A = this chain, B = another copy of it.
């Protein structure tokens, strides 16, 4: 199977091979129609290995979610760039490209986020991840404040809007007609330039 997304290892462990198969099966069939057998169709080894590692569908999906969120968290760029270049890089990552691997990732995340309405375990993982991302972005903004590049009274509050926009983009990537995402990105850059960047810059 082609490694179409960039977040699976090129030398995967069995666990990672199972998770990769689950990811593609989830993208193809959706949460409701997903079965271990359909995951097996994307898995090169014996299907019994999946049952050996996981109790049921949700057990497997929760491990996939944890893996994806860790990858997502690690993508918050750790950079030696200036906070301004850094925040623009975050924006590029948030909005991604509608056709590429970001869209695949968003599709899977959207499916799993919908489970938060009914399952506390999904809710707990997303809550942890959302808070992590918010903290990371607040950190960048604070750093920019200290360097005089940004002038933001409440960095955590600004980071909350970033977090809402991240979720919004993920929810729109399956229906990106009329390029709402592209226009949103330009407008969000305008917000950054007018509401975050210091007027001395």
Give the distance in Å from the alpha carbon of A124 to the alpha carbon of B122 in the complex: 28
A154-B183, A158-B187 are known contacts; what are 9 more A-B pairs with Cβ within 8 Å? A32-B32, A107-B117, A111-B117, A116-B175, A127-B177, A131-B177, A163-B180, A163-B184, A164-B172
Which size bracket describes the interface of A in this complex?
35 or more
The residue on B at minimum CB distance from A181 is: B164
Question: Which of A117, A127, A130, A154 is most buried by chain B, counting CB atoms within 10 A of its CB?
Answer: A117
Q: Footprint of B on A, CB under 8 Å?
A: 27, 29-33, 107, 110-111, 113-118, 123, 126-127, 130-131, 134, 154, 156-158, 160-161, 163-172, 174-175, 177-178, 180-181, 183-184, 186-188, 190-191, 194-195
Chain B residues whose CB sits within 8 angstroms of the CB of A190 once the complex forms:
195
Q: Are B160 and A164 in contact (CB under 8 A)?
A: no
Interface residue SS majority, chain A: helix
Contact check: which of B30, B110, B123, B164 meets A184 at CB < 8 Å?
Answer: B164
Chain B residues whose CB sits within 8 angstroms of the CB of A123 once the complex forms:
174-175
The residue on B at minimum CB distance from A190 is: B195
Give the distance in Å from the alpha carbon of A134 to the alpha carbon of B174 in the complex: 17
Q: Which 4 A-B pairs have the closest CB atoms?
A: A168-B168, A160-B183, A164-B168, A114-B114
Q: Are B127 and A117 in contact (CB under 8 A)?
A: no
The residue on B at minimum CB distance from A156 is: B183
Give the distance in Å from the alpha carbon of A114 to the alpha carbon of B90 in the complex: 25
